[in-house]
Structure 1
Amino acid sequence: MARLWRYGLLLSRQRHVADDLVQATCVRALERAGQFIEGTRMDRWLLSILHSIWLNEVRARKVRHGQGWADADQALSFDGEYAAQTHVLAAQVIRRVDALPEAQRETVFLAYVEGLSYREVADVLQVPIGTVMSRLATARAKLAEYPPLHVVSAPTSGERP
């Protein structure tokens, strides 16, 4: 569930939307339990369902607003800081990855945070494996353009963090 929620939060940028995505994913998985193939990874199947629900939601928002194609980054706003951002280095990394285009950000998350193989990422995102490799290479090149991360020294004893 935590993996689904993290992915839902990455896609939606809003905690309540991530909660709704996870709930919808669980409902759809229960409704379509017969489609699960024994011997496959349950987490990959659930991530694929969540991704599909998200894409359907983005498309529905575009139709409701009469906007045609819209970037999800522009359609949704971020509702606050992650708990992980309390650490300065983590916050810097998150901001840099967050600045990547949505497709690269999703791919980086699934490959490097969730630890999925390139093939599994391709299956979840429903893209060719070459696209996954290209997105990761482009994201790494973009992240390499940033200056080195600013390291904050730990407080000495007696100081408050």
Structure 2
Amino acid sequence: MSVAFSLKDEEALNSRIGHDLVCLLPRLRHYALVLCRSPALADDLVQDTCVRALAAADSWMPGTRFDAWVFRILRNHWIDVVRHNKVEARRDDVDIEAAGGQTESGEPGIISRFELADVCRAIDLLPADQQEVLLLVCGQDMTYREAADILGVPVGTVMSRLARARKRLLELTNGGQPTRR
């Protein structure tokens, strides 16, 4: 009788994880794009991550952050892919519409595209560890603790990487001069 109960619990857990994975897909794809810089490879990473998460559903502990668990699976899988294939990551041209932005006509739109391209080039110049922290904290609105859990580093390391990333971005995009608001 306890076997039937545990099977029922397992089915409910898998159903819940499947639903939560679907909700996470846009965020997972965005993170995968930052890691691998290829839309096709990002899609493959997200798909593989979902398969791995479902296969390892029993290792997720209810009551913990599900998204942090899945992001960590994605990151670890990417590291495995890079090690296995010795993939050289490359940056595709920025596609504003794919990133959820809207194209504008006229001078303001052109200036915005140039500024976005400048920021993307500056981010490309950051070390990978700073890029990841910047994406998780600024791009995914995660707390320092959540980013630290995903990356497997102390919170202080997240804070220092983010501070260095922000400082370097400022230097690269504005000559080190603070912008006026």
TM-score, normalised to structure 1, is 0.77
Which residue does 2:136 correspond to in 1? Answer: 110
Amino acid at match of 2:125: A
Of 59, 62, 76, the residue aligned with 1:38 is: 62
Which residue does 2:15 correspond to in 1? Answer: none
2:122–2:173 Cα contact (<8 Å) kept: no
Show structure 1 runs of 4+ deviating over 4 A: none
Which residue does 1:78 correspond to in 2? Answer: 91
Instruction: Report the Cα offset of residue 111 of structure 1.
Output: 0.5
Which residue does 2:159 correspond to in 1? Answer: 133
**Residue 147 of structure 2: SS of its match in structure 1?**
helix
TM-score, normalised to structure 2, is 0.69
2:145–2:155 Cα contact (<8 Å) kept: yes
Q: Any stretches of 5+ residues in structure 1 without a counterpart? A: 63-71, 150-161
Sequence identity percentage: 45
Instruction: Report the Cα offset of residue 46 of structure 1.
Output: 1.0
Instruction: Report the Cα offset of residue 80 of structure 1.
Output: 3.3
Find the aligned partners of 2:57 and 2:148 in 1 and give their Cα distance. Answer: 22
**Residue 146 of structure 1: SS of its match in structure 2?**
helix
> What is the correspondence of 1:144-159 to structure 2 with a 5 Å cutoff?
144-148=170-174
**Residue 141 of structure 2: SS of its match in structure 1?**
coil
Instruction: Report the Cα offset of residue 21 of structure 1.
Output: 0.5
- Structure with bigger helix share is 2
Which residue does 1:152 correspond to in 2? Answer: none
Of 24, 30, 38, the residue aligned with 2:48 is: 24
Which residue does 1:93 correspond to in 2? Answer: 119
Find the aligned partners of 2:162 and 2:91 in 1 and give their Cα distance. Answer: 24
Higher relative contact order (CA 8 A, sep 6+): 1
Q: Per-residue CA shift, 1:77-105, capped at 9, x if unaligned?
A: 23332334754233332222222111100
Change in Cα spacing, 1:125 to 1:147, as seen in structure 2 (3 Å) is closer
Q: Per-residue CA shift, 1:64-86, capped at 9, x if unaligned?
A: xxxxxxxx7xx122333233475
**How much is the aligned-residue C-alpha RMSD, in angstroms?**
2.0
Amino acid at match of 2:135: F
Which structure has the greater CA radius of gyration?
2
Find the aligned partners of 1:60 and 1:19 in 2 and give their Cα distance. Answer: 18
**Aligned residues, how many?**
138
Which residue does 1:57 correspond to in 2? Answer: 81
Find the aligned partners of 2:73 and 2:173 in 1 and give their Cα distance. Answer: 37
